[in-house]
Amino acid sequence: MAFPNKGSYYYCSVLCLYIIIIVANSLAFQCSAAAASSSNNNDQISTLVVNASIASRRRMPDTLFGIFFEEINHAGAGGLWAELVSNRGFEAGGTQVPSNIKPWTIVGEESSILVQTELNSCFERNKVALRMDVLCDDINCPSGGVGISNPGYWGMNIEQGKKYKVVFYVRSAGPIDMTVSFKNAQGGGILASTNIQETASEVSNWKRIGTTLEANGSSANSTIQLTTTKKGVIWLDQVSAMPLDTFNGHGFRKDLVNMLIELKPAFIRFPGGCFVEGQRLSNAFRWKESVGPWEQRPGHFGDVWNYWTDDAFGYFEALQLAEDIGAKPIWVFNNGNFSNPSFIFL
Ligand SMILES: *[C@@H]1O[C@H](CO)[C@@H](O)[C@H](O)[C@H]1NC(C)=O
Ligand SMILES: *[C@@H]1O[C@H](CO)[C@@H](O)[C@H](O)[C@H]1NC(C)=O
Ligand SMILES: *[C@@H]1O[C@H](CO)[C@@H](O)[C@H](O)[C@H]1NC(C)=O
Ligand SMILES: *[C@@H]1O[C@H](CO)[C@@H](O)[C@H](O)[C@H]1NC(C)=O
């Protein structure tokens, strides 16, 4: 098992080297025989003759150089994929409720707001939603209101003059009056803000809210906040924030995609690596769950690299990226294997 079999050795030498190397055995034997007479009997000298003539050259395939992409260290969502919100659907803490909502944090004190997860999303394949019980009102809420805040991946990069599309789903028994804002995480300065008001009948069932915010300041360490000073119960789900200006409008960061293009990749492999496997087979990446409307994708916990992905950068988006950068797509699928054999029955 330690040695490659003849088949794979041949495959490697033909595919990887493309140089014909001739080992001149007879010449080497003469040299070593001469050397042996003067010194150590065990000395052996070999001569490699490389035939680099034009006639012996082989054409390198145009497809030899490309990109190996892996969803690791948030290279996808949080990297190439321009989504700013981390744990957008509140699924990362698992389906036992109430669950941890990291990296979301609460804006306000426990005396004025209670936050927990519930399994009542309108999306069948990702049932976790957030419930906010707002206990204060206009008179006794803090001036900025109470609610929730998301730092994205190591702080959102909000840039002056740029526009951001914010989408979220909301439900409430009463009317809502909420503020959506980007704030500088250091100092709390408001970089963009908009007000959302809906009547009770409009939000008695889940409603999709879409709004565009334009930043009037920049910070590479920003948060998004959804706050209110109106007493009541509000459910939230699938909170997404994306810059409007993405590569071809397809959701990938322009600066990073341009770097990929400069590599002149013939192919792009995705989505991994070990990411495809999972420690447990149940956590393997499944392409069918990474296509269709992003709000409806279940997402999954990549337990090899230990973080949740909402899979908005899925199979379809990877094919789109390959097309956009002029590279051939190489899809890596799970062959039934997983990283940790002790989890065979899980
Ligand atoms: C090098 O390879 C070419 C093509 O196979 C062959 O024609 C030539 O004779 C070789 N030269 C030597 C020195 O072996
Ligand atoms: C962003 O700001 C927060 C709050 O001040 C701080 O804890 C964090 O370290 C900052 N992150 C970066 C990347 O500067
Ligand atoms: C940016 O806009 C927000 C409201 O949307 C406002 O509170 C803030 O003062 C503005 N900042 C600057 C520098 O104009
Ligand atoms: C399965 O995955 C493990 C860990 O990555 C690897 O050591 C093993 O060779 C793989 N087995 C097969 C059959 O691919």
Examine residue 227 and state whether it is found in any structural domain, yes or no: yes
| Residue that finishes a domain, picked among 199, 222, 243 | 243
End-of-domain residue from the set 210, 225, 243: 243
CB-CB contact of 321 with 249 (8 Å): no
Of residues 163 and 43, the one with the higher pLDDT is 163
> 222 CB contacts (<8 Å, ≥6 apart)?
152, 155, 156, 157, 158, 182, 183, 184, 185, 191
Q: Pick 337 or 161 by higher pLDDT.
A: 161
pLDDT digits (tens, 9 = 90+) for 283-310: 899 999 999 999 999 999 999 999 999 9
Rounded Cα distance between 60 and 224, Å, is 49
Q: Which residues constitute the domain of residue 216?
A: 105-243
Cβ of 192 below 6 Å from ligand 3: yes
Ligand nearest to the CA of 344: 4
The bridge status of strand 267-270 relative to strand 328-331 is parallel
At residue 19's C-alpha, the angle toward residues 17 and 21, to 5°, is 115
Query: Both 159 and 261 in a single domain?
Result: no
Same domain flag for 303 and 235: no
To test the pocket of ligand 4, the residue of 332, 337, 338 to mutate (highest count of ligand atoms within 8 Å of its CB) is 337
Domain count for the chain, please give it.
3
d(CA 36, CA 34): 5
Ligand 4 centroid to residue 340 C-alpha, Å: 9
Question: Are 151 and 227 found together in one domain?
Answer: yes
Note whether residue 1 is domain-resident.
no
Q: Are residues 221 and 110 in the same domain?
A: yes
Judge whether 86 lies within some domain.
no
Examine the domain organization and report whether 210 and 126 are in the same domain. yes
pTM for the whole structure: 0.83
Q: Within a domain: residue 88? A: no
Ligand 1 site residues, Cβ closer than 6 angstroms: 51, 53, 55-56
Q: What is the pLDDT of residue 39?
A: 54
Residue 101 CA to ligand 2 centre (angstroms): 19
The CA distance from 15 to 200, in Å, is: 66
Question: Is 50 exceeded by the pLDDT of residue 19?
Answer: no
With respect to residue 62, please indicate whether it lies within any of the assigned structural domains: no
| Residue of 53, 54, 57, 58 best suited for mutating to test ligand 1, as the one with most atoms within 8 Å of CB | 53
